Amino acid sequence: MHKKQIAITLGVMCLALTASIVIQIKTVSDSNTPVSQSLKENSLRDEVLKWKEKYDEVYDEVTISSENLEKIRKQATQNDTTSMAKQQEITLNNMLLGLTEVTGPGLEITLADNNTGLNQEGSEVLDISSQVVHNDDLLQVINALNNAGAEAISINGQRVVQTSSITCEGNVIKINGQRISSPFIIKAIGSPGLLSGSLNMIGGYLYLMKEDGVKVETKQTESTTVEAYNGVISYKYIKLKK
């Protein structure tokens, strides 16, 4: 009789354990249902919306603060001749340094590699590299523009300033540390006729590049825009004299 009771007790315990396992499996299975997945997605979406609202609020605050700062700056200089003069001086210096976008008459030049292997007369060239635009070519063109009185120059959107470097690293040309490639669009502000004449005259650098077969186009403009320099101008050795 004692053994029979033990057997019954064990049977009940096994039944209870089995029922518990079945319930657990069903619970896990239910957690993967589309309804549960939808609840998770809704929760994540709500969280994203909350963060977006916070971002929008902060962005609006920054915009308002910037507008208020500009108003305060203008108000501070409206009735102060000295402050206005200083502001104009800062603006002029930034323009001369290349830190602001500028417009004016000038010349736009497009230089592109020639992949045909033929020169201007249609003859086959012996040195194909002479029909490829190199960093030295860009430097020569910039020097010629400066000598002709160019007041602002950019190449493919990169402003050429006093500290700009034009280097060649393998097949890549870099200006101001940024990669640029053919075609090269050079924009210069100055006397359109003088700039064009100094480069396109017989013996001028663009004239010689055309002779080699490089693709060269020039256009005099009444108004061209030269982009601002977006880097940091720094000096190692010069200091203000006390």
**What is the arithmetic mean of pLDDT over 35-63?**
68
Q: Quick one: DSSP state of residue 178?
A: E
Residue with the bigger pLDDT between 11 and 203: it is 203
Query: Which fold does the domain 103-226 belong to in CATH?
Result: Alpha-Beta Plaits (3.30.70)
Q: What pLDDT was estimated at residue 161?
A: 92
Asked whether the whole model's pTM tops 0.75, one would answer no
Burial per residue of 17-27, b for 16 or more beta-carbon CB atoms within 10 angstroms, e otherwise: eeeeeeeeeee
Residue with the bigger pLDDT between 77 and 50: it is 50
Residue with the bigger pLDDT between 128 and 173: it is 173
**What is the arithmetic mean of pLDDT over 114-138?**
78
Task: Report the C-alpha gap between 230 and 236 in whole angstroms.
Answer: 19
Q: What pLDDT was estimated at residue 50?
A: 72
Task: Report the C-alpha gap between 145 and 151 in whole angstroms.
Answer: 9
Question: In three state form, how does the secondary structure of 178-226 look?
Answer: EEECCCEEEEEECCHHHHHHHHHCCCCHHHHHHHHCCEEEEEEEEEEEE
* Per-residue confidence band for 3, with pLDDT thresholds at 50, 70 and 90: very low
**What is the arithmetic mean of pLDDT over 65-90?**
70
The answer to which of 30-44, 126-140, 164-178 has the lowest mean pLDDT is: 30-44
Residue with the bigger pLDDT between 191 and 51: it is 191
Does the pLDDT at position 5 exceed 70?
no
**What is the arithmetic mean of pLDDT over 41-53?**
69
Q: What pLDDT was estimated at residue 63?
A: 75
The answer to whether 173 and 179 are in contact (CB under 8 A) is: yes
pLDDT digits (tens, 9 = 90+) for 23-42: 655 555 555 555 556 666 66
**What is the residue extent of each domain of the chain?**
103-226
